[in-house]
Amino acid sequence: MGVFLALFILTVTLGFLVLKYRHGYWARRHVPHNEPSFPMGDFKNWQKTQTFVEVFLPVYNKFKGRAPFAGMFLMFRPIALILDIDLVKNILIKDFNNFHDRGVFHNERDDPLTGHLFALDGQKWRALRQKLSPTFTSGKMKFMYPTITKVAEEFVRVMQEKQATSAGGIIEMGDLVSRFTSDVIGTCAFGIECNGLRNPTAEFVVMGQKAVSERRHNKFVDALLESAPKLARALRMRQISQQVHDFYMGIVRETVSFREKNQVTRRDLMQILIELKTKDGKDGGLTMDQIAAQAFVFLLAGFETSSTTMGFALYELAKHEDIQERLRKEILEVLERYNGEFTYEAMMDMHYMEQVFSETLRKYPVLPHLTREANADYKTGDSRYTIEKGTMIVISVDSIHYDPKYYPNPEQFDPERFTEAEIKKRPACTWLPFGDGPRNCIGLRFGKMQAVVGLTYLLRNFKFSLCEQTNVSKHGMKGRVLLHSVDGIKLRVEPV
């Protein structure tokens, strides 16, 4: 018994020393870093009192200008937090082939909904991106545009009813815009009429919120999934809750089966995915699991992101009524040029709307950091700052967007930052809400389209202002990743 106890103590001691040695990785290389805590590294307070933004921002501000990157740890996995904007550009664009993987968890076999374009690596990602790129062209967006405007018209009717019955016209806009985007995604990605605008407890709305905010595991296991995704995959671990998995797999299977059996076609993403489907994914087509995974990531990327952007845009417009009036004036002038019809071309003609949209995402990047993984050792010009193969790379979008070097007085909401002349003054890769380079967000056109359509319909019919109940907190994180307003966005709404 004594021998076994001694062996156990020796094993634990050796394990502890190995892990402590691992935490000395950046110190041995003389890379600027904070002392990591055991066992969470720099993420000791993540999910408890800190969001990802609050983990990365102090490190960025402390070490920027001193080195091309700073060292951090996610548990025992070294992270290179990029501080130099030229290095950001090299990673995302110039030297993309060495950084094409995100290095995040996915497990197509046991957790098929994670086998989507955002998470896949290597050749699987390249092949899928090539198949799906034609799905998000301007032509395909125009194809789906009438479906979105139909939902927006219902949005206005619901808003009119709520405004007439709400005390003082005060409405919680965060919830309402999320139900708008839920109806858009339900219609365009899954081909179902979920009626979330009228029914906040509709199953699709509730499950959409769970898909974004709920995880299968606790903080420690989540950290393991992200810090050691290959190990987690080898252990056949899963990330998505069983309830969410069963719901979305069921919807996709039923929709595909119904359309194929009854030869039904619609103007939506699901139709485009069905046209890519082949038996068992042969001949370069998509399997049923792949269709479900792409529809699912379309939900994750389009549901909460667009609604959050719309909510924060309305909040800033309510704070700055002069900007709101200028934007409303543009909307009315453009509609007059198009005989009162809000066509796809009319939407593309709204240039000040583009500036407001861009500044909203500058100040409130919904995905506040980007991740990459080094596929081979990468030299930055200083031997201390070689990024070794397998190193996790983080680009803190929020930190760059709030860097006064690129955006003076960054807390100020100012759409004039995004005139053509001002954009040309800034280095590349200083505006990254959709990423950049070959692995940027494939659905950026769709996300922008649904947000702009929603804002246009609201602003041509309603005026928004602050009220006593307005209390917007920027740094909440939904699902531990996506930014949202913790307390919602309550605004006073009046008919125009």
Task: Indicate the range of 6-20, 180-194, 304-318, 462-476 predicted with least confidence.
Answer: 6-20
* Per-residue model confidence (pLDDT) at position 95: 96
CA geometry: angle at 248 spanning 439 and 371, to 5°? Answer: 25
The pLDDT tens digits of the residues spanning 64-82 come to: 999 999 999 988 889 999 9
Q: Which long-range contacts (CB under 8 A, 24 or more apart) does 7-12 make?
A: none
Phi, then psi, of 195 in degrees rounded to 5: 55, 40
The pLDDT tens digits of the residues spanning 287-330 come to: 999 999 998 888 877 777 888 899 999 999 999 999 999 999 99
Spatial neighbors of 375 by CB under 8 A, at least 6 apart, are: 97, 98, 99, 100, 101, 389
> Which residue segment(s) compose the domain that 314 sits in?
2-495
- Mean pLDDT for 442-449 is 91
* Position 481 confidence tier, pLDDT thresholds 50, 70, 90: low
> Rounded to whole angstroms, how far apart are CA atoms 164 and 172?
14
* Number of domains into which the chain is organized: 1
* Per-residue model confidence (pLDDT) at position 429: 97
User: For residues 365 and 397, is the Cβ–Cβ distance under 8 A?
Assistant: yes
Whether the pTM exceeds 0.85: the reply is: yes
Helix (H, G, I), strand (E, B) or coil at 409: coil
> Rounded to whole angstroms, how far apart are CA atoms 157 and 166?
14
- Residues paired with residue 394 on neighbouring β-strands, in sequence order: 81, 371
- Domain of 228, CATH number, reads 1.10.630.10
Closest by Cα among 454, 117, 135 to 269: 135
Q: Between 48 and 438, whose confidence is greater?
A: 438
Rounded CA Rg of the chain: 24
Report whether pLDDT(37) > 60: yes
CA geometry: angle at 416 spanning 324 and 437, to 5°? Answer: 115
* Per-residue model confidence (pLDDT) at position 480: 45
Q: Which regions of 366-486 does DSSP assign to beta strands (E)?
A: 369-373, 392-396, 462-465, 476-478, 482-484
Give percent of the chain above pLDDT 70: 92
Helices (H) and strands (E) in the chain, counts: 19, 9
